[in-house]
Structure 1
Amino acid sequence: MRWLLAFLFGAVFGAAGGVALGFFLFPFVFPPPQATETLQASNDSRLVAKGTFIHANPSDPIHYGSGGVSVYSDTVFLNEDFEVGPGPKYHVYLVPKASIRSSADVEDTMFVDLGQLRAFQGSQNYTIPAGVDLSLYQSVVIWCEHFSVLISPADLDFET
């Protein structure tokens, strides 16, 4: 009888662990295709700021990013050269803080969530909600909501 309980216990926990591992590894094994969106800013939108995503923690080989970002009055546009390392549930945030270099820099801020990242590479558009004062936001970051981890920040240089 003990062997049956041990077998059932192992089967249940093995299956649960396998499912959890599958959810974690899915974006690495089956990444979405590269995005190729074109800029979809409205006719009255203007370029407000530009930035470049960086590898905030070079000793971390998993959480990295690179490429440009352009912020218009109604759209955040991730440029064609945009790329981040794959992972689960990444989001694009506007953050009211400059020089973001760690997860702690983001956790206690009132960021604006622009939506879930649609691809790990390529150009993408994210609509800025009406009423957002862009002068208050000095950074665009890619954030992993699943693990509350900073993936890649971009400091914004405002156009004059």
Structure 2
Amino acid sequence: MKKRTVIALLSTHALVLAIGFGTGIYTLPILTAPDAPSREQVQSIDSVQRFTGQFSRNLKDSDALHWGEGKVTLGDEFIALNGKLSPGPDFKVYLAKEFVETEADFNRLKSTMVQVADIKTFNNFLVPIPKEVDIATYNTIIIWCESFGQFITAAQYQSI
């Protein structure tokens, strides 16, 4: 085989492998996600809400692959999202005392934040708030991809 043919074959196979790997990373969380809470379950938090906020796709570090949209409700025991998140692995919910919409700001302030829960679903979510976390001492909820250090979305739910 000619050297040029070998290089072309190796290049095309490497490209297909990279595309397959990237597709797998993106779709695996979708395939392994548990059933999302129903709209009724999420809306049940509305009756005991303390705060609400809005996730938006239009934040500085949100993009076509990393975004969230919908109404987020914080109660005494649960945080609920009536909306959608882009699929991805290892999403975490953080609470912060300052609104954050970039990875740089998140990393700068991470030591002052509290990690609340893992997110396993991408259409709606309902996560428990640990008893030791007082949501009133924070004003922003952030969704962060821990594995890739990627900002997903944030919502300010009160002014402090």
TM-score (norm 1): 0.70
Q: 1:113 to 1:23 in 2, by over 3 A?
A: farther
Task: Name the counterpart of 1:6.
Answer: none
In terms of fraction of residues, the more helix-rich structure is 2
List alignment gaps of at least 5 residues for structure 2: 1-9
* Pair 1:62 & 2:65 matched: yes
Matches of residues 29-108 of structure 1 in structure 2 within 5 Å? Answer: 30=31, 32=33, 35-37=36-38, 38-39=41-42, 46-55=48-57, 56-57=59-60, 60-79=63-82, 82-98=83-99, 100-107=100-107, 108=109
Q: Identify if the C-alpha distance between structure 1 residues 30 and 157 changes in structure 2 by more than 3 Å, giving closer, same or farther.
A: same
1:28: Cα distance to partner? 6.8
- Note closer, same or farther for the CA distance 1:21–1:138 as it changes in structure 2 (3 Å cut): same
Encode CA deviations 1:75-126: one digit per residue, 9 max, x unaligned.
Answer: 11112xx11111221112222212x21012222332222222121112x221
Unaligned stretches of 5+ in structure 1?
A: 1-9
Alpha-carbon contact 2:53-2:157 (below 8 Å) kept: yes
Instruction: Give the 5 Å matches for 1:119-134.
Output: 119-122=121-124, 124-134=125-135
1-structure distance, mates of 2:78, 2:30: 31
Task: Report how far residue 18 of structure 1 moved.
Answer: 8.8
Per-residue deviation, 1:20: 5.7
Number of residue pairs matched? 142
8 A Cα contact 1:88 1:146, kept in partner: yes
Q: TM-score, normalised by structure 2?
A: 0.70
Note the aligned Cα RMSD (angstroms).
3.4
Greater than 6 Å deviation, 4+ residue runs: 16-19
